[in-house]
Amino acid sequence: MTEENEQNLEPASAPAIPGEDVVAPEDGEDSDADLKHFQWRVTKNLTRRIDQYLVDRVGYLSRAGVQRLVGEGLVKVNGRVVKSSYHPRNGDIVEMVAPPEPISELVPEDIPLDIIYEDEHFLALNKQANLMVHPARGVWTGTLVNGLVFYGQRWSGVNGNWRPGILHRLDRNTTGVMLVAKSDEAHWRIARQFENRTIQKTYIAIVHGVPQLLGDVIDMPIGRDRYIREKQAVRKEAAGVKPAVSKYEVIEQLRG
C-alpha cells in the first residue's frame, strides 16, 4: 500500500493516522477575527504538496482557498511561511489559520434598515457604520445581507446566494448610501452605469486637520494594501490596480 492510499481523510481534530499526528488540537476560534487555528505534526515524508495535504485534512476548504491562505502567510511549517508547492517532511509542525466552516444558508436577522428610497426595481439605504455588507471569512451573521433577507423582498441573484441584490460595497466602518437591486435586469442596468462611471458618488466627511488646498482633484490608482489585505491603498506600480479619481471641496472648518 502506498503512502497516498493509506491516508484517511478525517477532520483536523481526528486521532493520529500514519504519517501525521494532531498536536494538541488548536481548532478553537480566535476571539479577534473569528478564525480557527489548526496544527499537525508530520511523522513521515509525504509525496503530496502542502496545499493538497491541507485540503485533505480540512474538508470544507477548496484547494484554491488553501492557496489563498498560503499566499496570505496563514500557513506555516516550523514557524515559517511556505509556498503551496512545499512537501511536508517527517518532523514538520504544520500550522494554519483559516475561517471556520461556513453555514449552509443565510440567516434572516431583524437588522434596522435606514431606507431612503424604494420602488419596484431597487432600494437605496443608508448603511450604518460597523456593519459588514455581506457574510465573508467566518462572519456569517450580523451583516446587511442578513437584514435584507429578513426584510422579505426578492433580490437579484446575479452575485450569488450570499450577496443577494448587492451592487457595490462599503467598508464595514463606513456609512453611506447603497443601492440594492430587486431583479436581475435592474442589477445589470445599474451595474452597467457603475461600470461606465455614469453614477456620481458624493460624500460628506468630517476629517482631522486642515487641507492645504480648499479643493483639489486626486487622481491616483488604488489596489490591495501591501500589508493589510483587507484594505485598499494607493498603489502606483502594483499589479491589478484600478483608476480612482476623487474631487474634494472644503465646505466648512470647525474649531477644536
Mind telling me the catalytic residues? 171
Residue 14 lies in a domain: no
Residue 6 lies in a domain: no
Does this model's pTM top 0.75? My answer is no
Amino acid in the structure at residue 173:
N
Grid coordinates representing 219 are 487622481
DSSP string computed for 105-141: SPPP------EEEE-SSEEEEEEPSS--SS-BTTB-S
Residue 165 lies in a domain: yes
Q: pLDDT (tens digit, 9 = 90+) per residue, 158-190?
A: 887 888 999 988 888 989 999 999 999 999 999
Percentage of the chain beyond pLDDT 70 is: 85
* Helix axes 63-71 and 50-57, enclosed angle (nearest 10): 120
Residue 237 lies in a domain: yes
Smallest CA-to-CA distance from 158 within 148, 166, 146, 147 is with 166
One domain for residues 84 and 153: no
Q: Based on the structure, what is the number of domains in the chain?
A: 3
Query: Could you tell me the CATH number of the domain that includes residue 94?
Result: 3.10.290.10
How crowded is residue 252: how many other Cβ atoms within 10 Å of its Cβ? 6
Q: Which domain holds residue 163?
A: 115-195
Query: Could you tell me the CATH number of the domain that includes residue 171?
Result: 3.30.2350.10
